[in-house]
Structure 1
Amino acid sequence: MKEMLKRIFLVAFIFLVLVAISGFFYMQKHPMEGKKATGKSLNLSGQVSK
């Protein structure tokens, strides 16, 4: 029973991490409307792109 609970929590944690990472990359490609007002966004290397 304890091993099964550990496995369930581990799978849920990995799933949440994957969702967070994919959401981060999605937001890099599709910024929100509020971000678009400036016309600039930072990419991963820290350079400003228009």
Structure 2
Amino acid sequence: MREMIKRIVLVIFVLLVLTAISGFFYMQKNPLDGKTSINKTSNLSGNHLK
């Protein structure tokens, strides 16, 4: 029982670390600038409408 709980906690921890690392690289690639993200959103919505 205790081994199973340790394994579950380890899996959750690894998933959190992987999510943090992938989020870090995503933010490096796409930085959050307010005006830039608004322009990107409007451009995307404009492309979808056309």
Q: Which one has the bigger strand percentage?
A: 1
Counterpart for residue 18 of structure 2 = 18
Q: Which runs of 4+ in 1 moved over 4 A?
A: none
Please identify the structure whose Cα radius of gyration is greater. 2
Give me the TM-score of the superposition, normalised by structure 2.
0.66
Other-structure match for 1:5: 5
Name the structure, 1 or 2, with higher relative contact order (CA <8 Å, separation 6+): 1
Alignment identity in percent?
A: 69
CA RMSD of aligned residues (A): 1.1
Q: Return the structure number with greater helix share.
A: 2
Structure 2, unmatched stretches of 5+, are 37-50
What's the TM-score, normalizing by structure 1? Answer: 0.66
